[in-house]
Amino acid sequence: MSDPASGILVVTGTGTGVGKTVVTAAIAALARAGGRRVAVVKPAQTGVRDGDPANSDVPDIDTVIRLSGVTDTHELARFPDPLSPEAAARVSGLPPLDVRAAADYVAKLAVERDLVLVEGAGGLLVRYDEAGATLADLAAALDARMLVVAAAGLGTLNHTALTCEALAARGLACAGVVVGSWPRSPGLAERENLADLPVAAGVPLAGVLPEGAGGLSREDFLRVAREGLDPGLGGVRRAA
């Protein structure tokens, strides 16, 4: 498999809230520190209400910029309600993301970048339009590798196995699994999952980032990213 830290890498998750944005920021931070030309793309952002910060999530792109220092960022569509991109577009009366156009946009970016990171919304098969286009379809159109971000605790083995099976069924290459938020006080399930995740997924465990990493300073975040991600993603972690 080619170097996951080069070309186009699409970051998905086993669900929402598993740490996709922090993992995306970590890979971006390491690429930037290594002198690579890196861009980050968020095809569709939901749950952000412009001009209403009290009832709005922080855009994922803003978190990536704050943590990584990468400013070559691109948000292609934004919807105010915290729903799937297709549902959020529908209830807001806005046009959904054009997945084919998004693929073309990312491909053009990749011509002049060493690495383009594409962060999805929710899980792999969340719908982006009424025809049912998903992040998997975007990755297929780009012939891009995917990285799966997973939770640490109970249920993650099943969710991760289902996601990776869906990738394999579509002929999509997976660069590995990263645990997006490792608890400060892991229990038995979390500790055992470190060994079981690559077995369930059928791909390597490519990193583990600690809980709270998204609240660190940029300098401390870079250190945590380097220690938590494997060399294939720009870090120095070595799997046990």
The residues assigned a catalytic role are 42
Give the residue from 91, 162, 99 showing the smallest Cα distance to 128. Answer: 99
6: burial class by Cβ within 10 Å (0-12, 13-18, 19+)? middle
C-alpha 14/C-alpha 44 separation (Å) is: 17
Instruction: For residue 37, give the DSSP letter.
Output: -
Cβ distance 145 to 8 under 8 Å?
A: yes
C-alpha 164/C-alpha 175 separation (Å) is: 11
Considering all CA atoms of the chain, what is the largest pairwise distance in Å, rounded to the nearest integer?
A: 50
Residue 168, Cβ neighbours under 10 Å: how many?
14
Cβ distance 18 to 214 under 8 Å?
A: no
Cβ distance 89 to 95 under 8 Å?
A: yes
C-alpha 172/C-alpha 136 separation (Å) is: 8
Cβ distance 67 to 214 under 8 Å?
A: yes
